[in-house]
């Protein structure tokens, strides 16, 4: 029944295979010999299977866990260096016909104001985001064929790309909308989107159906097979995610890796990113009613084990998590964070008083983007606004090839420095600017490719003189 190459959800996410994996992991969680073998394989930095990674996740031998964390940090360093890419979510509409019990936008919630941005309002939001310094957005909209049809999403993407405010530009629009048809994915592809992101929420079919009692999202297979349709529609960068807290985290962990293996087996290219959101409080939603919540230590272990299992897949943590928690997982494998986020419709141009707010979830990390940038710099990271890959045609298989050979660093590093320089010139506070300039100089001193260094220094000078949008 379990078949990673199949396009049927119940075959590539076989419930039986997940249960057997969990049993195997439980039986071997103290098997030092096996754990050592898995760690040795992981040290080759080519990834692990869902079964192997599940054993590491279950392992409760403190010294082995230390090794796992150390290895995750090393892999993070080798693949991603000290760069962290920044993005912001942009909520277009909170109209939704689904009944997801963990989301305040569910159809029956009458407490929140429903809102859908007009194209003019989108322009205002994008200008506000550009004034913060953002270059990369993830657009979000509820599922509603009447209020948010695909034409509305496409028009909105077009509007976002068209706004050029001062030196600002949104250079990559990632899209997080409901599962749709191959035809609609083709349209999204043609509109020039970056990554198509769709959270599975939970891979456990029985729980999935209970958590999504009404609306089109109730259909487990249609939702789970969405990435296959997206790839058939020509989108080759897709982003997976589960909402930790809904189901047992070990189940989700094994299944999301099976999903990644499926994409690799069926299309030759794994997921571009994996997101690791945890359920948060929101209007009409009490996270305490879900009894699968995970503590910060478990969360860190999940991040470390995903990093080891799929080294070349980016990992995203949002402002759902507190500054403290984000700090803890950055060096374990996170490659992208959101910053200065508003999770309500229209929240950037006109932040709402809290009681009128229609946020999808409570934001834990409420710091403005400039503070997030300064914080990252002070921690020794290079905040990056890079969007080069898809604009250079480095997507899908081509991107994965470069990643798997650990060569992406040669692009990411100079691009990070150039986009940080743009940020410092255009948006940074004096304090952040000083810290950022110091960081760029230090990075240049240690730059090991002399030829590239010369070219990069020239481009940094040109950015200072007012030119924008260089990329490798």
Tokens of 67: 């090794």
Contact between 96 and ligand SF4 by CB under 6 A: the answer reads: yes
d(CA 153, CA 402): 31
Q: How far is the CB of 347 from ligand SF4 (least distance, A)?
A: 15
d(CA 336, CA 85): 5
* Strands 83-93 and 336-338, bridge-based pairing: parallel
d(CA 471, CA 459): 9
Q: Return the sign of the alpha-carbon dihedral for residues 183, 151, 92, 97.
A: negative
Q: How far is the CB of 136 from ligand SF4 (least distance, A)?
A: 9
Contact between 282 and ligand SF4 by CB under 6 A: the answer reads: no
Q: What is the DSSP string of 123-148?
A: HHHHHHHHHHT--EEEEEE---TTTS
Radius of gyration of the chain (CA): 21
Stretch in the footprint of ligand SF4 (CB under 6 A) among 18-26, 296-304, 407-415, 440-448: 407-415
Stretch in the footprint of ligand SF4 (CB under 6 A) among 59-67, 277-285, 296-304, 404-412: 404-412
Considering beta carbons, is residue 6 or 384 the nearer one to ligand SF4? 384
Chain residues 104-143 in contact with ligand SF4, contact rule CB under 6 A = 105-106, 142-143
Helix residue ranges per DSSP H, 137-196: 150-162, 182-190
Chain residues 140-159 in contact with ligand SF4, contact rule CB under 6 A = 142-143
Contact between 98 and ligand SF4 by CB under 6 A: the answer reads: yes
Figure out which of the listed residues 9, 103, 226, 456 binds ligand SF4, where binding follows CB under 6 A: 103
Using the 8-state DSSP alphabet, how is residue 109 labeled? -
Considering beta carbons, is residue 28 or 94 the nearer one to ligand SF4? 94
Phi, psi of 139 (to 5 degrees): -85, 145
Which secondary-structure segment (H or E) carries 85? strand 83-93
Determine the size of the site formed for ligand SF4 (CB under 6 A). 20
Q: Furthest-apart CA pair in the chain: how many Å?
A: 62
Q: How far is the CB of 360 from ligand SF4 (least distance, A)?
A: 7
Stretch in the footprint of ligand SF4 (CB under 6 A) among 37-45, 159-167, 227-235, 406-414: 406-414
Q: How far is the CB of 56 from ligand SF4 (least distance, A)?
A: 26
Contact between 92 and ligand SF4 by CB under 6 A: the answer reads: no
Single out the residue of 72, 73, 32, 76 nearest to residue 55, CA to CA.
32
Figure out which of the listed residues 42, 56, 68, 85 binds ligand SF4, where binding follows CB under 6 A: 85
Contact between 217 and ligand SF4 by CB under 6 A: the answer reads: yes
Contact between 180 and ligand SF4 by CB under 6 A: the answer reads: no
The Cα-based distances of 326 to 70, 313, 316, 320, 334 in angstroms read 17, 18, 10, 9, 9
Q: How far is the CB of 51 from ligand SF4 (least distance, A)?
A: 29
Contact between 100 and ligand SF4 by CB under 6 A: the answer reads: yes
Q: How far is the CB of 402 from ligand SF4 (least distance, A)?
A: 8
Helix (H, G, I), strand (E, B) or coil at 270: coil
Q: Where on the chain is the footprint of ligand SF4 (CB under 6 A)?
A: 85, 96, 98, 100, 103, 105-106, 142-143, 178, 217, 384, 386-389, 408, 411-412, 415
């Amino acid at each position: 029944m379990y078949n990673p190459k199949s396009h049927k959800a119940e075959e590539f996410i076989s419930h039986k295979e997940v249960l057997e994996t969990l049993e195997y992991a439980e039986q071997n969680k103290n098997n030092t010999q096996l754990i050592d073998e898995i760690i040795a394989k992981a040290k080759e930095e080519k990834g692990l299977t869902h079964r192997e990674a599940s054993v590491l996740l279950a392992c409760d031998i403190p010294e082995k866990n230390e090794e796992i964390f150390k290895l995750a940090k090393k892999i993070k360093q080798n693949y991603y260096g000290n760069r962290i890419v920044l993005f912001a979510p942009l909520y277009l509409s909170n109209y939704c016909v689904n009944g997801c019990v963990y989301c305040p936008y569910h159809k029956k919630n009458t407490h929140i104001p429903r809102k859908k941005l007009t194209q003019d309002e989108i322009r205002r939001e994008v200008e506000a985001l550009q004034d913060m310094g953002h270059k990369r957005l993830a657009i979000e909209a509820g599922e509603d064929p009447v209020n948010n049809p695909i034409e509305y999403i496409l028009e909105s993407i077009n509007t976002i790309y068209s706004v050029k405010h001062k030196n600002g530009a949104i250079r990559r629009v990632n899209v997080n909308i409901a599962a749709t048809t191959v035809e609609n994915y083709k349209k999204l592809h043609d509109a020039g989107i970056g990554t198509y992101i769709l959270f599975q929420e939970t891979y456990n079919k029985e729980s999935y159906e209970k958590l999504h009692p009404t609306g089109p999202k109730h259909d487990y297979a249609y939702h789970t097979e969405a990435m296959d349709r997206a790839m058939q529609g020509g989108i080759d960068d897709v982003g997976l995610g589960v909402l930790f807290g809904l189901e047992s985290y070990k189940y989700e962990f094994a299944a999301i890796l099976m999903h990644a293996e499926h994409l690799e087996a069926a299309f030759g290219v794994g997921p571009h990113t994996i997101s690791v959101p945890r359920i948060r409080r929101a209007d009409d939603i009490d996270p305490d009613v879900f009894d699968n919540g995970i503590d910060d230590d478990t969360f860190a272990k999940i991040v470390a084990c995903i990093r080891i299992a799929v080294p070349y897949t980016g990992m995203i943590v949002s402002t759902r998590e507190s500054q403290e928690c984000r700090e803890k997982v950055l060096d374990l494998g996170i490659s992208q964070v959101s910053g200065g986020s508003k999770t309500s419709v229209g929240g950037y141009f006109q932040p709402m008083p809290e009681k009128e707010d229609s946020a999808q979830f409570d934001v834990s990390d409420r710091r403005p983007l400039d503070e997030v940038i300064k914080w990252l710099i002070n921690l020794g990271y290079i905040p990056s606004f890079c969007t080069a890959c898809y604009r250079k045609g480095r997507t899908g298989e081509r991107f994965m090839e470069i990643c798997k050979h650990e060569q992406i660093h040669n692009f990411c590093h100079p691009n990070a420095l150039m986009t940080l320089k743009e940020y410092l010139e255009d948006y940074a506070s004096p304090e952040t600017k000083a810290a950022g300039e110091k960081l760029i100089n230090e990075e240049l001193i240690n730059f090991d490719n002399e030829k590239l260094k010369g070219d990069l220094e020239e481009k940094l000078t040109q950015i200072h003189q007012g030119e924008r949008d260089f990329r490798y």
